[in-house]
Amino acid sequence: MKDRFYWLALSFVPGVGNVIYQRLLSHFKEAERVFKASREELMKVPNVRPKNVESIKGFKDWDRVKREMELIDKHQVTLLTWGDEGYPENLGNIYDPPSILYLKGNIIKEDRLAVAVVGSRNPTEYGRLATERIGRDLARQGVTVVSGMARGIDSISHKGALSGRGRTIAVLGSGIDVIYPPENKGLYQEIAAQGAVLSEFPMGTHPDGVNFPARNRIISGLSLGVVIVEATLRSGSLITANLALEQGREVFAVPGNVSSPRSRGTNMLIKKGAKLVEETQDVLEEILPQLATSRKGQEEKDEIPPYLSEDERKVFNLLEKEPLHIDLITVKSGLKANQVLAILLNLELNGLIKQLAGKMFVRSQD
């Protein structure tokens, strides 16, 4: 508790940004020692300037730190600081990792295998379907899906990962106790239960526009690569792509309709060298070839994918030997027509079955 108090206090000192914060902790090891150090000792730390020293020695906003600690405990938030054992490994390796991270849920070592999926707040149906499939498929391959919980592509990517029964991480451009957009309250709770919600902003921070570029560097920093789905030429997603390149991450883009403004950003990225994504395998092969190969081999070995629900297995098994008409599938499965239709669509989106002429369905051969 005492350590957390001083970590938080140091993050509130004016002029002490992420880089200076790291240098101070690397030198003194404990945040409390930073405040107790003499001016002469502080000046020995690389890149620490006299104005930084005076800000530290003159810090008096201890009541603010106490109030913040009370809010953290009230909302059952975990406080992570740079250098903690539980701090996200990928994020800790960028140039300016957040000094402090507010966390709901949990971060696990497997989150190192993460891919960000971001894009338009107003996607087309094509963008929605592509995003849902990518998020779901990544999750089923054991990849953590990272995004910003914004409207549109961000939210859809989280939902895709959740439907794939995998992990997902949301990075907020507000305080962790400020859910934005407000209609995502349920999604927020699901993500916290099946992954993590993160923010570097103090409690109560509103989602102002200036916060989002900083938020975007965390999204890319947590990930091995960033997939952009539908983005205009002025989209904030392109900022995330540029940050990813600066951080040495891979950049992927889903191609779109050449006549659609929402595709100009993604198509431009492909022209500039981003890897074109037609299926999730394109991402896996780039970020971790060994995983992609082993997963693909396992899927070929298993006739029935283990992630299918009981009803999905029932329908999938009916298509084992020959094509069937949708009406016959409904009769044989004993399910309602609308259930069968939804299941067939889901199986088709996953590449497990194909629809033939006359509403006939058959298993995919590849």
Q: Which of 19-23, 347-351, 362-366 has the lowest mean pLDDT?
A: 362-366
Question: What are the pLDDT digits (tens) for 131-177?
Answer: 999 999 999 989 999 999 999 999 999 999 999 999 999 999 999 99
The enclosing domain of 43 has a CATH number of 1.10.150.20
Last residue of one domain, picked from the residues 17, 50, 74: 74
On whether both 59 and 185 belong to a single domain, the answer is no
Instruction: Please report how the helices 310-318 and 337-349 are oriented relative to each other, as an axis angle in degrees rounded to 10.
Output: 80
| Per-residue pLDDT tens over the stretch 201-224 | 999 999 999 999 999 999 999 999
**Phi then psi dihedrals of residue 125, to 5 deg:** -60, -35
Number of domains in the chain: 3
Are residues 277 and 329 both part of a single domain?
no
Structural domain contains residue 299 = no
- Identify whether residues 167 and 278 lie together within a single domain: yes
CATH code at position 217: 3.40.50.450
Q: Are residues 163 and 287 in the same domain?
A: yes
Residues 182 and 116 in one domain: yes
Structure tokens at 248: 């040495």
In a domain, 16, yes or no: yes
Is 304 among the domain residues?
no
Residue pair 200/85 in contact by the 8 Å Cβ criterion: no
| Host domain of residue 177 | 109-291
Q: What pLDDT was estimated at residue 3?
A: 83
Give the per-residue pLDDT at 357. 81
What span, in angstroms and rounded, lies between the C-alpha atoms of 258 and 181? Answer: 30
Asked if pLDDT for residue 298 goes beyond 60, the answer is no
- CA 305 to CA 313: how far, in whole Å? 9
Whether pLDDT at 341 is above 50: yes
* Confidence bin at 327 (pLDDT 50/70/90): confident
Q: How confident is the model at residue 294 (pLDDT cuts 50, 70, 90)?
A: very low
Distance of CA 140 to the CA centre of its chain: 15
Peptide bond preceding 14: is omega within 30 degrees of 0, i.e. cis?
no
